[in-house]
Amino acid sequence: MYGPQPNVAAAAGHPDPPPRMGFFTDTSVCIGCKACEVACKEWNAVPEDGLELTGMSYDNTQGLGADTWRHVAFIEQRKPFGGQESGVGHEGFDAFEAARNLGRGPASPGPGATSPPPGEAPAGAPAGEISPLAPDGRTELRWLMASDVCKHCTHAACLDVCPTGALFRTEFGTVVVQEDVCNGCGYCVPACPYGVIDQRKEDGRVWKCTLCYDRLGVGMEPACAKACPTDSIQFGPLEELRERAAGRVAQLHAAGVADARLYGESPDDGVGGDGAFFLLLDEPEVYGLPPDPRVTTRDLPSMWRHAATAAVTLAALGVASFVRRPR
């Protein structure tokens, strides 16, 4: 139930399966346009799940769920020189007042205005809070954007605990829910190490990304990858994506982006590698991802062995007590 699994589709009983397909999401080129969210909802007829901003930057969905199979996260960071600090505060800045004053007064540069000297904030900007500048003119703030999705784990605990077979492994190595078979028991929800699977309140059934299984069957790429304008979401054979991702990390390191790292690509991790993995620019926790995910059912065989041993021991003690009872 853990460790590398070279051919998950064959292990699931598919004879002569095609190459395993998956996603590589390069967050370094994500622009937060949400085209993937819209395309996913449109193609899969996923219900609307909130059109109002949550107050967390431009995020209106907050996370993956039964009605959000793709989620674009907006993470604002203050990046002091030599360190990293998440959670930028804007308490001292009145955006409405700033908007009312646009084009008025000395805070708004007029014709012929020049850039501020190095180390100084632009006129009218609350230095140190909204747009602090380094001595070379760079800003200390940045946005990390990332499109999250079901990981289609190599060792998927949701498959292990599903009592009806509603969750199954496809010939492409992906994990899909058959909504007409799901009985709404919810066992798979806590089994997922990423917290991806969710139930709809109406009937309790679970829903998640299918990696557009219907499109794969006719040779089409998933809707989200098709809609992505920057190729942040890349689709293809998993082994090819892993090679491409390693090259991209090397490219970023050579360009001085030392924090670039891959997440979920290794077959030696706690879930045997993900079918949807990521290039991140910070620690996984910053993106709301577990740092060391493990398949939650990996200890089930040993647990059952211990339970069986305990049951046999109790039965033996019971028999022995009757045999030794004086008559």
Question: Which residues on adjacent β-strands are paired with residue 142?
Answer: 77
Task: Answer yes or no: is pLDDT of 309 > 80.
Answer: no
Q: What percent of the chain has pLDDT over 90?
A: 59
When mean pLDDT is compared across 16-25, 104-113, 214-223, the lowest value belongs to 104-113
Query: What is the band of 41 on the pLDDT scale with cuts at 50, 70, 90?
Result: very high
- Residue 101, pLDDT score: 56
Name the residue with higher pLDDT: 4 or 46.
46
Q: What is the DSSP string of 206-245?
A: EE-----HHHHTTTPPPHHHHH-SSS-EEEEEHHHHHHHH
Q: What is the pLDDT of residue 6?
A: 78
- The Cα-based distances of 182 to 19, 177, 189, 204 in angstroms read 28, 8, 12, 9
Q: Locate tokens 């997440």: which residue?
A: 263
Distance CA 73, CA 123 (A): 31
CA dist 23 and 6 (Å) reads: 17
Strand-pair category, 21-26 with 276-280 = parallel
Q: Where are the beta strands (DSSP E) in 67-174?
A: 71-78, 85-86, 141-148, 167-169
Residue 224 scores a pLDDT above 50? yes
Who contacts 25 (Cβ-Cβ below 8 Å, separation ≥6)? 146, 147, 149, 232, 233, 234, 276, 277, 278, 279
Q: What is the per-residue pLDDT across 123-161, written as a single tens digit (0 to 9) for each?
A: 444 333 434 455 555 556 788 999 999 999 999 999 999
**Residue holding tokens 């993937």?**
36
Report the C-alpha gap between 218 and 139 in whole angstroms: 47
| Nearest residue to 3 (alpha-carbon basis) of 298, 315, 213, 252 | 298
What confidence tens digit (pLDDT) does each residue in 64-109 have? 999 999 999 998 887 654 444 444 444 554 545 554 554 444 444 4
* Cα 272 from Cα 310, distance rounded (Å): 31
> How many percent of the chain have pLDDT more than 70?
75
Q: Which residue has the higher pLDDT, 225 or 62?
A: 225
- Where does the pLDDT of residue 325 fall: very low under 50, low under 70, confident under 90, or very high at 90 and above? low
The DSSP H or E segment spanning 25 is: strand 21-26
Backbone angles phi, psi at 168, to 5 degrees: -145, 160
150, 174 Cβ separation under 8 angstroms: no
Residue 275 — pLDDT band, cuts 50, 70, 90? very high
Work out the mean pLDDT of the chain and round it to a whole number. Answer: 82
21-78+145-287 has which fold? Alpha-Beta Plaits (3.30.70)
Whether residue 199 is predicted with pLDDT greater than 50 in this model: the reply is yes
pLDDT tens, position by position, 175-197: 999 999 999 999 999 999 999 99
Residues paired with 280 in a beta bridge: 261
How far apart (Å, rounded) are the C-alpha atoms in residues 82 and 69? 36
What pLDDT does residue 95 have? 47
The DSSP letter of residue 104 is S
